[in-house]
Amino acid sequence: MTEAATQSLTPVEPSFEPLQGMRSLRVLARLLDYPTQELQDASGELIEILNAERRLGAALKSSLMAWCQRLQEGDLLELQAEYVAMFDKGRATSLLLFEHVHGESRDRGQAMVDLMAEYSAAGFELDARELPDHLPVFLEYLSMCDEAEIGRWLGEIRHILALLTARLEERGADHALVPLSLLALIGAEGDVEEHRPQVKKEVPDNTPEALDAVWEEEAVRFSATSDEDCALQSAEGRRLAERKHTVQSQPVRIMPAPSLNASSAPSAPSADR
């Protein structure tokens, strides 16, 4: 892939080649990146890889490819402003996986240490400034795993992916297609439905007033027990943590690709539109 698809994780052994069958996970990682000219230039290649991915349904692939087309044709400054508004303000749509489970508690730090150990055990080292639980970084790691391992990991974080999908959909963001696609890989798209009622009731946390309130709260709660308080006061964090333990015991696998049917396969959007 092009420079826009530069990995955040690199194998210790330089001769290692990722499984070509899951290159689509790298595409999904790139679609969650901060928009750049390089990403726009690579849109055609991303569309080609998505179009060849037989594990995703035709409708979902068409939506993903149409989004790539919009990225290619969109005004870069506007795309960047939309990204900042979506992911850099507030925590509800955070791309840091463990923040949805552990908040700012010390448990999150231990979870990241454990994840880094998984990366190291697989022969990878983090070479970017992003945290190990940053979803694009995590997807780069998964793109180099076998299908059984991919299914295991997606099964463990399916509750986070479903909640993130519902929140991004509520804000009308194309980015919702990424966690939805990951759920589709394990046949769990239906998980999103249970979160929609809750999400509709949530007060937006990305408004100036909400951001000011967070800063004030952090200043007041800066103490030796602030981590513990934060964890205890996050009812949603407790629910997600409890659900995580139940999900781990459920066997999950990547959905098999359907039989190839040329007449039903989606065609890549035309770049001439």
pLDDT digits 0-9 by tens, 9-43: 544 433 233 444 489 999 999 999 999 999 999 99
pLDDT digits 0-9 by tens, 195-207: 999 999 987 766 5
- For 11, the enclosing helix (H) or strand (E) is strand 9-11
- Number of domains making up the chain: 1
Instruction: Report pLDDT for 186.
Output: 95
Arithmetic mean of pLDDT over the chain: 76
Spatial CB neighbours of 230, under 8 Å, sequence gap ≥ 6:
103, 104, 105, 221
pLDDT digits 0-9 by tens, 243-268: 344 444 445 566 666 655 544 455 55
Q: Is residue 265 part of a domain?
A: no
Instruction: Report pLDDT for 269.
Output: 55
Q: Is residue 233 part of a domain?
A: yes
pLDDT digits 0-9 by tens, 59-87: 999 999 999 999 999 999 999 999 999 99
Instruction: Report pLDDT for 59.
Output: 96
Is 8 a residue whose pLDDT tops 90?
Answer: no
Q: Is residue 10 part of a domain?
A: no
Instruction: Report pLDDT for 256.
Output: 65
Q: Is residue 273 part of a domain?
A: no
**How many residues does the structure list for the chain?**
273
Instruction: Report pLDDT for 53.
Output: 92
Count CB neighbours of 148 within 10 A.
12
Q: Is residue 106 part of a domain?
A: yes
Q: Model pTM?
A: 0.72
Q: Is residue 254 part of a domain?
A: no
Instruction: Report pLDDT for 123.
Output: 83
Q: Is residue 81 part of a domain?
A: yes
DSSP state letter for 76: H
What range defines the domain where residue 195 resides?
18-248
Q: Is residue 266 part of a domain?
A: no
Indicate the pLDDT class of residue 222, thresholds 50, 70 and 90.
very low
* Sign of the alpha-carbon torsion through 164, 7, 81, 112: positive
pLDDT digits 0-9 by tens, 128-184: 577 888 999 999 999 989 899 999 999 999 999 999 999 999 999 999 999 999 999
- How deeply is 134 buried, as exposed, middle or buried, from its count of CB atoms within 10 A (0-12, 13-18, 19+)? buried
Please give the structure tokens belonging to residue 51: 């179009």
**One-letter amino acid identity for 101?**
V
**One-letter amino acid identity for 191?**
D
- CA dist 228 and 41 (Å) reads 46
